[in-house]
């Protein structure tokens, strides 16, 4: 029988690659998915050589509504059982809501909300039948704070993942399945290069940043404890606590003032469709 595999989305870089490395170091077989097949294959070769685990690569774009079904069916076709799901794939869309065409937002919602939700729906029945499973939904500290202008749907999508994970955890705990929403703050990765905010964030204090590896280790520790929501790092937990104490109006005013340090809020018109 094939060993159970962990499915990691957005595995080609950043937190996703760190999840893959940590799982491989723990001896877990893997299914890696992302758009860049060459990056996936390079990581897979590294993990096979370093840890002797089976690593399968399935390249796809989660912006395609057919991708979640394709992923699950391809894993089943290869005879792979998924006992761990890491919904990590994600990115940010710069600018204000009306500065981008609807197609851009539709792709974002598909990747950030619909795809992880569908993957949970498709893979949970098997986990329940086996009486064991783990799901990590990579959310963000942004989902727990007031949302600044710019990147309009980002914090909203992360807040959705947090609430979704809470309900999912309560529904599935009696079936031996643990669910955790991981909420990192600023993490060293390609995230800000891809969304065009690198110049904004590069001057931010180093104490606000974490490496991806300790963020991932916190996620596994949280799963083992049964934590449903885990904010990574003491600094980020302090930030969350600070904003929780503020009146809503003051918190929103403060995040509006500081949001310009890390959010691109270009309000130029959307390009023609």
Averaged pLDDT, 100-124: 98
Classify residue 214 as exposed, middle or buried by CB count within 10 Å of its CB (0-12, 13-18, 19+): middle
**CA–CA dist 135, 120 (Å, integer):** 8
Q: What are the φ/ψ torsions at residue 119 (nearest 5 degrees)?
A: -60, -40
Does residue 8 form part of some domain? yes
Give the mean pLDDT of the chain: 91
- pLDDT over threshold 70, residue 201: no
Known active-site residue 188: no
Residues 6+ apart with CB under 8 A from 145: 155, 239, 240, 243, 251, 255
Does residue 42 form part of some domain? yes
Does residue 200 form part of some domain? no
Does residue 9 form part of some domain? yes
Question: What pTM does this model have?
Answer: 0.90
pLDDT of residue 198: 43
- Per the structure block, which two tokens stand in for 204? 């931010």
Query: Following DSSP, what letter does each residue of 74-92 receive, concatenated?
Result: HHHHTT-EEEEEEE-----
Does residue 269 form part of some domain? no
**CA–CA dist 154, 159 (Å, integer):** 9
Does residue 94 form part of some domain? yes
Averaged pLDDT, 202-231: 90
For residues 268 and 40, which has the higher predicted lDDT (pLDDT)? 40
**CA–CA dist 174, 161 (Å, integer):** 21
For residue 116, give the nearest of 86, 146, 96, 92 by alpha carbon. 86
- pLDDT over threshold 50, residue 108: yes
Averaged pLDDT, 190-195: 49
For residue 135, give the nearest of 167, 180, 101, 69 by alpha carbon. 180
**CA–CA dist 76, 92 (Å, integer):** 31
For residues 188 and 185, which has the higher predicted lDDT (pLDDT)? 185
- pLDDT over threshold 50, residue 197: no
Where does the pLDDT of residue 192 fall: very low under 50, low under 70, confident under 90, or very high at 90 and above?
very low
Residue found under tokens 């795809």: 115
Residue range(s) defining the domain that contains residue 56: 4-188+209-233+241-261
Does residue 196 form part of some domain? no
**CA–CA dist 48, 87 (Å, integer):** 22
Please give the share of the chain, as a percent, with pLDDT higher than 90. Answer: 84
Tally of domains in the chain: 1
Q: What are the φ/ψ torsions at residue 155 (nearest 5 degrees)?
A: -60, -35
- pLDDT over threshold 90, residue 215: yes
Cβ atoms of residues 142 and 158 within 8 Å: yes
In the DSSP assignment, the letter for residue 103 is H
Domain harbouring 164, CATH code? 3.40.50.720
Where does the pLDDT of residue 209 fall: very low under 50, low under 70, confident under 90, or very high at 90 and above?
confident
**CA–CA dist 69, 71 (Å, integer):** 5
CA distances from 209 to 96, 166, 200, 205, 234 (A): 25, 26, 14, 8, 11
pLDDT digits (tens, 9 = 90+) for 35-75: 999 999 999 999 999 999 999 999 999 999 999 999 999 99
Which residue is catalytic, options 91, 154, 160, 188? 154
Does residue 198 form part of some domain? no
């Amino acid at each position: 029988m094939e060993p159970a595999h962990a499915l990691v989305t957005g595995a080609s870089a950043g937190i996703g690659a760190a999840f893959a490395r940590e799982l491989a170091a723990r001896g877990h077989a893997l299914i890696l998915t992302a758009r860049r097949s060459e990056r996936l294959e390079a990581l897979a070769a590294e993990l096979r050589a370093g840890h002797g685990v089976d690593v399968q690569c399935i390249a796809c774009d989660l912006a395609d509504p057919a991708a979640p079904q394709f992923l699950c069916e391809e894993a089943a076709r290869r005879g792979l059982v998924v006992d761990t799901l890491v919904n990590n794939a994600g990115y940010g869309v710069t600018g204000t809501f009306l500065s981008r065409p609807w197609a851009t937002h539709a792709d974002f919602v598909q990747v950030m909300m619909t795809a992880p939700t569908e993957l949970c729906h498709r893979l949970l029945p098997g986990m329940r039948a086996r009486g064991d499973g783990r799901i990590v939904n990579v959310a963000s500290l942004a989902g727990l704070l007031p949302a600044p202008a710019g990147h309009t749907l980002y914090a909203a999508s992360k807040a959705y993942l947090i609430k979704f994970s809470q309900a999912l955890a309560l529904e599935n705990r009696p079936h031996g399945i643990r669910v955790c929403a991981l909420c990192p703050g600023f993490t060293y990765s390609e995230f800000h290069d891809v969304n065009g905010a690198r110049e904004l964030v590069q001057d931010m204090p180093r104490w606000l940043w974490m490496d991806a590896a300790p963020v991932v280790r916190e996620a596994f520790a949280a799963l083992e404890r049964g934590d449903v929501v885990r904010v990574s790092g003491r600094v980020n937990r302090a930030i969350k606590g600070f904003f929780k104490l503020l009146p809503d109006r003051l918190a929103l005013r403060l995040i509006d003032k500081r949001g310009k340090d890390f959010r691109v809020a270009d309000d130029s018109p959307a390009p023609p469709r």
